[in-house]
Amino acid sequence: MLDKLYSLKHLIGNTPLVSLAHDQVNLFTKLEYQNLSGSVKVRPAFYILESSIKRGEIHEHSTVIESSSGNFAIALGTLCKRLGIKFIPVIDPNINSIYENVLLSLTDRVEKVTERDETNGFLLTRLQRVQEMLKITPEAFWTNQYGNPDAVSGHYYGLGDEIARSFDQLDYVFLGVSSCGTIAGVSRRLKEKYPNIKVVAVDTEGSVIFGDKPRKRFIPGIGASIVPPNLQEAQIDEVMHISETDAIDGCHQMLEQQSLFVGGSTGSVYAAIQNYFKGRTFTKKPSVLFICADNGTPYVNTVYNREWVNMLREQHVLI
């Protein structure tokens, strides 16, 4: 099985590292949307599958099950299709229609929950459905993106190591958080190479990861309604909470100022960087890195749609 998986390896990682215009800092980004399946999430997906196959936990009769409404499901679906094994994503009604159609092309079965959990979101209901599916599905394997050490290792040895090999000195890294796998793996690797680096976690208002009060959120890919076990592995210096309004503005600014068409989590991170450095002066410009976790195409009907944004603003649900 591993040979099938490795036939896709050259399409993952070694993403372009580009320098961006900025007045106060030397700003860099890594175009993670150029990975196979269009996002950074294929890195942990590949590493989890590879490690689990090596340990004999996944074999040709396995069915992989995961709760994801987005990039991780598409990454797993892409890899499982190449492996020739079954994959069942557990999704919810908030999934955007583009992602849902991609998933329906990648897998025979998509499991959709419809009931909200006690935080008014769907994550807890999705995780409960995963547990039910694991009981009734023969040879089921749960990738558990929120608490699988292999997800963290995938980022440590993948993205984290690539960044560490690219810079002699790096002063700041800004990373969006959801399952916290990216920040856990990348922060650990970067702190080894650059002991003085500042790791800034960017979360969204209404996400409970760092203790904010839960509220309904509209932009996927950032925030969570649980505290992911992966967070324990992360080495974080500062946390910023960005409103969804600022995340949308951040996406439009990325397009205007940097000509990069990015997804909502990247817009949040870009907004965080602008806020963080506003009014600060340095004798020597610091080096600052963030990633473009996915691109803007799945968000054309939301973040990049004026009517959708105005509708949510009029309902006073977008903060």
Ligand X SMILES: Cc1ncc(COP(=O)(O)O)c(C=O)c1O
Q: Applying CB under 6 A, which residues contact ligand X?
A: 39, 41, 70-72, 176-182, 221-222, 263, 265, 293-294
- Name the residue nearer to ligand X (CB basis): 38 or 276: 38
- Name the residue nearer to ligand X (CB basis): 52 or 71: 71
Q: Cα–Cα distance between 206 and 243 in angstroms, integer?
A: 9
Buried b / exposed e along 144-157 (16+ C-beta atoms within 10 A): bbbbbbbbbbbbbe
- In angstroms, give the least distance from the CB of 233 to ligand X: 11
DSSP letter for each residue of 275-302: HHHTT---SSPPEEEEE--BBSGGGTTT
Q: Cα–Cα distance between 156 and 161 in angstroms, integer?
A: 6
- In angstroms, give the least distance from the CB of 139 to ligand X: 26
Among candidates 87, 93, 82, which has minimal Cα distance to 66? 87
- In angstroms, give the least distance from the CB of 255 to ligand X: 16
Buried b / exposed e along 105-121 (16+ C-beta atoms within 10 A): ebbeebbebeeebebeb
- Name the residue nearer to ligand X (CB basis): 78 or 179: 179
Q: What are phi and psi of 293, to 5 degrees?
A: -65, -40
- Name the residue nearer to ligand X (CB basis): 56 or 94: 94
Provide the 3-class DSSP secondary structure of residue 2: helix
- Name the residue nearer to ligand X (CB basis): 265 or 287: 265
**Are 274 and 158 contacting, i.e. CB atoms less than 8 angstroms apart?**
no
- In angstroms, give the least distance from the CB of 10 to ligand X: 22
Looking up tokens 């800034």, which residue turns up? Answer: 200
- Name the residue nearer to ligand X (CB basis): 1 or 239: 239
Beta bridge partners of 287: 26
Count of beta carbons in the 10 Å neighbourhood of residue 52: 18
- In angstroms, give the least distance from the CB of 263 to ligand X: 5
Q: Cα–Cα distance between 176 and 182 in angstroms, integer?
A: 8
Q: Cα–Cα distance between 25 and 15 in angstroms, integer?
A: 22
Beta bridge partners of 53: none
Q: Cα–Cα distance between 262 and 18 in angstroms, integer?
A: 14
- In angstroms, give the least distance from the CB of 228 to ligand X: 7
Provide the 3-class DSSP secondary structure of residue 140: strand
- In angstroms, give the least distance from the CB of 56 to ligand X: 26
- In angstroms, give the least distance from the CB of 315 to ligand X: 25
- Name the residue nearer to ligand X (CB basis): 201 or 309: 201
- Name the residue nearer to ligand X (CB basis): 97 or 196: 97
- Name the residue nearer to ligand X (CB basis): 96 or 128: 96
Structure tokens at 98: 């583009």
- In angstroms, give the least distance from the CB of 6 to ligand X: 23
Secondary structure element (H or E) that encloses residue 245, with its range: helix 244-258
